[in-house]
Amino acid sequence: MVQKSGVCTRPATRTRRSSPVMRVTFIQTRSTSMKIFMKFPLSSATVVALATAITFTGCSESPDVGQAASAAPQKAASASDAPGMSMPLTQEQVGARYAIVSDPVIANSGEVIRAVVSVTNAGKSTISSKGKLPVNLAISLVDASGVVSAKDFVRAPLPPEGIPAGASAEVVAEVPAEAVVGKSLRFGLVQESVAWFSDFKIEPLDYGPFTKCADQGKQTFCGAGGKPLSAR
């Protein structure tokens, strides 16, 4: 069998009527791993068999096999990531409910107040903080008279996997502690550059007011009802 243009073919055998023994000098240089230098009496049948065996070795070394073995597998896309938001949500698609998971705490050596809010997606579509029209949890400041004093106060992103329709997720919101003294926090979803969910008659959640108070002789922050906040 011989290799020609990438295809292995079987050479035609011919019967010779000459002497059954002849002297042959055979040199094979096709592969660096097989170099045979022979110079001794061989029968014609032995020469044909040896040439065929060496040809098989050359044909078996296909470059395609090495290329396939060295090809690196492609990394699969993460199934946990939510798709990006690219279309405006309509009033028929949205719905939400909010709840404070536990009392807010003081963090970062008293610099921020951290609240964990449970957000339930009562709408018909998955919402996420990815894409060109993301949905975030907005935190606004409300003064003692109930007037919004800072609507675009802080944004908190939703979890990376988003919130599917009918599901709930906890969202962590951190706000500057000194900025909220004497005010309440208002939590509500907003689709950036599109609309606030409150524009679709979905009620936001208010928590507060926050005040400065004394706890065991030390100045600290108190939350709703004048309860001192724990430090973390």
Report mean pLDDT in 10-residue bins for the chain, 232 residues.
Answer: 49 47 44 43 48 47 47 47 89 97 95 98 97 98 96 97 98 98 98 97 97 92 95 90
Which of 17, 36, 61 represents a domain boundary (last residue)?
61
- pTM of the predicted model as reported, rounded to 2 decimal places: 0.66
Which of 13, 37, 61 represents a domain boundary (last residue)?
61
Of 208, 98, 88, nearest to 148 (Cα)?
A: 208
Is 57 found in the same domain as 107? no
Number of domains within the chain: 2
Tokens of 84: 């990006």
- Whole-number pLDDT of residue 76: 44
Provide the pairing of β-strand 184-191 with 195-196.
Answer: antiparallel
Is 134 found in the same domain as 57? no
Is 40 found in the same domain as 138? no
Is 125 found in the same domain as 49? no
- Whole-number pLDDT of residue 47: 44
Is 38 found in the same domain as 122? no
pLDDT digits (tens, 9 = 90+) for 129-152: 999 999 999 999 999 999 999 999
Tokens of 131: 């894409």
- Whole-number pLDDT of residue 216: 86
- Residue 112 CA to residue 175 CA, distance in Å, equals 5
Asked if the structure places residue 220 within a domain, the reply is yes
CB burial of 16-40 (b: ≥16 within 10 Å; e: otherwise) equals eeeeeeeeeeeebeeeeeeeeeeee
CA-based diameter of the chain, in Å? 120
Asked if the structure places residue 170 within a domain, the reply is yes
Is 110 found in the same domain as 41? no
Domain that holds residue 41: 2-61
Q: Which CATH number belongs to the domain containing residue 185 in this structure?
A: 2.60.40
- Whole-number pLDDT of residue 134: 98
Residues in the chain: 232
